[in-house]
Amino acid sequence: MAIRARRYADAKAQASSNTELLWWVFMRVSGLVMVFLVLGHIYMNFVLIDVSTINYTYVAERLSNTTWKIYDWLILVLAMLHGMNGLRYVMDDWIRNPARRFATKAVVYSLAVLVVIVGSFSLFNHDFSKDLKQAAQTQGSVKP
Amino acid sequence: MYRGREGQWAFFLHRISGIALLLWLLLHTLNISSAMWGPAVSNRLMLFFHVPIFQVGLLLVTAAALYHSFNGLRIIIMDFTGWGIKYQRQLWYGVIALCVLVAVPGLILTVPRIIHAATHGGAQ
């Protein structure tokens, strides 16, 4: 059962388990961190540049940089955990039938794991700098 | 827990914006990850997301991110200070004011770009 308290002391009293209290704390901590990470991400890729200029070359250059790999992976993992736990509260509220709730959660959590795996592979299992170098050698510059 | 209209709206908008942001996280991660299959695949996908209607959608997602961020800070203030709950209504108007304050220059900057891309078939 999700915690409905508005204070840490109340949350502690209401928590059905230590895990539930831990999630309550995690939502606040990850949320505070993501205010800076995500608003920074939006500022860099939506305000500083025109989004309609974003293409393969832009992404490949960005994902060749270790700083952005770590930055993006932090957002991916924190946002996925924060979002999926939030959706768990929503599913507990909105899906009354236990069998249907279980089935929905199984599908939703599987999708989350899949997206985290695909995202992590693109960040850490692919050498974009090699692609860019190869493209530069064969055609002078990378076609947009 | 909540008494009065503002608290209900704050909660409802937080939930809806959260669901929208989670959906965006899934789409956006898969879209950007497609770069690992090379320019042929990922440029085609990104062009699809550059269609004007999606750019307007992107503005809505950004608005959701702003509201969810600032209202999240309001929730943290209510949880960890002695005075937060007493002033939750005033804090919520502060959240809305902050959103508008950030959204106005953001729109002034991005809307002309979207219109330009829509009318010229590409970026500036």
- B107 to chain A, any CB pair closer than 8 A? The answer is no
pLDDT, residue B124, reads: 46
Q: Is the pLDDT of residue B2 over 60?
A: no
Whole domain around residue B68: which residue ranges? 5-120
Domain count, chain B: 1
Task: Kindly state the average pLDDT of the residues B21-28.
Answer: 97
% of chain B with per-residue pLDDT over 70? 94
Inter-chain contact B1–A121, Cβ cutoff 8 Å? no
Q: What CATH number corresponds to the domain at position A46?
A: 1.20.1300.10
Q: Tell me how far apart the alpha carbons of residues B83 and B55 are, in angstroms, rounded to a whole number.
A: 40
pLDDT, residue B103, reads: 96
- A55 to chain B, any CB pair closer than 8 A? The answer is yes
- In a domain, residue A144? The reply is no
**Per-residue pLDDT tens over the stretch B29-43:** 999 999 999 999 999
Q: What CATH number corresponds to the domain at position B107?
A: 1.20.1300
Q: Tell me how far apart the alpha carbons of residues A72 and A65 are, in angstroms, rounded to a whole number.
A: 11
Residues of B in contact with A128 (CB under 8 A): 35-36
Chain A residue closest in CA terms to B38? A56
- In a domain, residue A1? The reply is no
Residues of A in contact with B22 (CB under 8 A): 79, 83-84, 86-87
**Per-residue pLDDT tens over the stretch A12-45:** 778 778 899 999 999 999 999 999 999 999 999 9
The stretches in chain A having pLDDT less than 70 are 1, 6, 139-144
Predicted complex ipTM = 0.91
